[in-house]
Amino acid sequence: MLTQTSTAGTAPFLWDTYLDSTVFSGYFAHLQVATDSGFVSVTQDMTQMITPSDLASGNIVFSGFTTPSGTFYVRMRIWDGASVYSSWSNTLAETITLTLPGSQAFRFFADDLANLKQNIAGSTAVAADGDPVGKWLDQSGNSYHLAAAADNSTRPTYHVRSGKGYVAGDGVDDLLYSTTAPNLYGATGNGTFTIALSFRWTSPVGAKTVIDESDANSNTSIGSYVRSLSTTPADMSSSIRGSDGSTNAVTNTNTFLSNANNGVDHTLIYVRNGAVLTPYLDGVAQATEVVSSTNFVGNQLNLFGRYRNRLITPNIDAWAAVDIYGAVSWQSDRTADVATIHAILAALHP
């Protein structure tokens, strides 16, 4: 008998099955999770060796499944490690609803057309593949609404890929920005924050920026939180420069995530807490980076590029040809929620 022992809405999920005297240590338990009761579309497939402690307790616990929201079907069978499989167990049906934790600083998800507008004024809704995006409303409740510089070719474009919506920058002049920003890094450089991105980036050239906070009054304060590495564009990096124009809190010469910009759908989550920045690619922790503190002014939020010195001599550059399914941030450490955040962002992918 297969039973589910975790709390719905958590990730990863734990499942157990009662074992009887016909099962021996060294056999394997084979578990499948699917989106249909016929198990045509299997989303998770796991084989785990049965140990003496499993037999002693009468059950085996499966861990490591990160399942997106929706209704899923689960079944299990026993394998002797050679050629004999048991029949499949009973099928469990579970409806799981995952929600983003805490209070977000900003949130932009392309799966909700109600928040995408064709023009800067926001009077014309995005309705179909190929529509321009002149305004992207912030879903966090903090009103960091993003808009294009004009109702022209500088607007990114809404597209649909296998039923999933995304907003695409052309890497030439597309940019969305807000004239206010959460200033995630913090005025004194001691901010604790989490940034998460669901994206696909194909063949970036040079140092291009996806998520950025800048100073509308200066050309020096730059917070390029997510960008491609100038020397190896397929790698991802981050660059944060202080208001003095020379202090680099996070250098853009270090590899942040190797080969993340490879034309494949990914999730990126990174957490800054104190002097340590920890990135996660597709839910898996990568090498950490030491972050210094420096005076920083972030009063403008930018997506698909950098926009500095807006109120004096506008400086727009580093446009990224990237597809964004969703972007969200918190002014807090969400390390404990990485599995859930990854599952929600991955569900935005085709």
80-98: average pLDDT? 84
Domain CATH number, residue 122 = 2.60.120.200
**What is the reported pLDDT for 10?**
46
Pick the range with the lowest mean pLDDT from 109-123, 169-183, 220-234.
Answer: 220-234
Q: Say if residue 112 is in the same domain as residue 73.
A: no
Assess if residue 231 is contained within a domain.
Answer: yes
**What is the reported pLDDT for 43?**
83
Q: Say if residue 33 is in the same domain as residue 179.
A: no
> DSSP per residue over 274-335, as a string?
TTEEEEEETTEE---EE---------EEEESSEEE-TTSS-EEE----EEEEEEEEESS--G
Assess if residue 282 is contained within a domain.
Answer: yes
Instruction: For residue 63, name the pLDDT band (cuts at 50, 70, 90).
Output: low
Number of domains in the chain: 2
Assess if residue 254 is contained within a domain.
Answer: yes
Assess if residue 155 is contained within a domain.
Answer: yes
Q: Which of 169, 171, 138 is nearest to 156 (CA)?
A: 169
59-78: average pLDDT? 74
Q: Which of 236, 177, 233, 247 is nearest to 205 (CA)?
A: 233
Q: Which of 145, 305, 308, 306 is nearest to 217 (CA)?
A: 308
Task: Print the domain residue range for 326.
Answer: 106-346
Phi first, then psi, for residue 190 (nearest 5°) are -115, 15
Spatial distance between the Cα atoms of 113 and 126, rounded to a whole number of angstroms: 6
Q: Which of 107, 261, 277, 289 is nearest to 196 (CA)?
A: 107
Alpha-carbon distances of 94 from 15, 70, 71, 272, 318, rounded to whole Å = 11, 8, 5, 35, 45
Spatial distance between the Cα atoms of 14 and 151, rounded to a whole number of angstroms: 50
Assess if residue 74 is contained within a domain.
Answer: yes
Q: Say if residue 13 is in the same domain as residue 137.
A: no
Percent of the chain with pLDDT over 70: 90
Assess if residue 64 is contained within a domain.
Answer: yes
Q: Taking 60 as the threshold, does the pLDDT of residue 68 lie above it?
A: no
Q: Which amino acid is at 95?
A: T
* Residue with tokens 């959460």, as numbered in its chain: 182
**What is the reported pLDDT for 110?**
98
Q: Taking 90 as the threshold, does the pLDDT of residue 324 lie above it?
A: yes
Q: Say if residue 13 is in the same domain as residue 132.
A: no
Q: Which of 200, 337, 195 is nearest to 270 (CA)?
A: 195
Q: Say if residue 220 is in the same domain as residue 185.
A: yes
Per the CB < 8 A criterion, the answer to whether 33 and 40 are in contact is: no
Per the CB < 8 A criterion, the answer to whether 301 and 144 are in contact is: yes
Q: Say if residue 261 is in the same domain as residue 135.
A: yes
Q: Say if residue 91 is in the same domain as residue 113.
A: no
**What is the reported pLDDT for 2?**
61
289-296: average pLDDT? 86
Question: Each residue of 274-290: pLDDT tens digit?
Answer: 888 899 999 999 988 88
Question: Each residue of 243-261: pLDDT tens digit?
Answer: 888 888 877 656 678 889 9
Per the CB < 8 A criterion, the answer to whether 198 and 326 are in contact is: yes
Bond prior to 204 in cis (omega within 30° of 0): no
Q: Say if residue 147 is in the same domain as residue 9.
A: no
Q: Which helix (H) or strand (E) holds 63?
A: strand 59-65
**What is the reported pLDDT for 252?**
62
Q: Say if residue 119 is in the same domain as residue 229.
A: yes
| Angle 162-265-252 from CA coordinates, rounded to 5° | 150
**What is the reported pLDDT for 206?**
87
Domain CATH number, residue 76 = 2.60.40.380
Of 18-22, 24-28, 89-93, 318-322, the range with the highest mean pLDDT is 318-322
Assess if residue 166 is contained within a domain.
Answer: yes
Pick the range with the lowest mean pLDDT from 106-110, 218-222, 310-314.
Answer: 218-222
Last residue of a domain, one of 64, 96, 128: 96
> What CA dihedral angle connects 26, 284, 99 and 118, to 10 degrees?
-140
236 SS3 class: strand
Last residue of a domain, one of 96, 127, 142: 96
* Residue with tokens 């807006």, as numbered in its chain: 310
Residues 6+ apart with CB under 8 A from 22: none
Q: Taking 80 as the threshold, does the pLDDT of residue 84 lie above it?
A: yes
Residues 6+ apart with CB under 8 A from 8: 94, 95, 96, 97
Assess if residue 101 is contained within a domain.
Answer: no
212: tokens are: 């950025």
Alpha-carbon distances of 219 from 36, 94, 250, 310, rounded to whole Å = 54, 52, 17, 9
Task: Give the torsion sign (CA, 148, 151, 154, 157).
Answer: positive
What does the mean pLDDT of the chain come to? 88
**What is the reported pLDDT for 299?**
94
Entry pTM: 0.80
Q: Say if residue 245 is in the same domain as residue 215.
A: yes
145: tokens are: 């609404």
Question: Each residue of 146-179: pLDDT tens digit?
Answer: 999 999 999 999 999 999 999 999 999 999 999 9
Last residue of a domain, one of 96, 116, 150: 96
**What is the reported pLDDT for 11?**
44
Q: Say if residue 140 is in the same domain as residue 238.
A: yes
Q: Say if residue 248 is in the same domain as residue 204.
A: yes
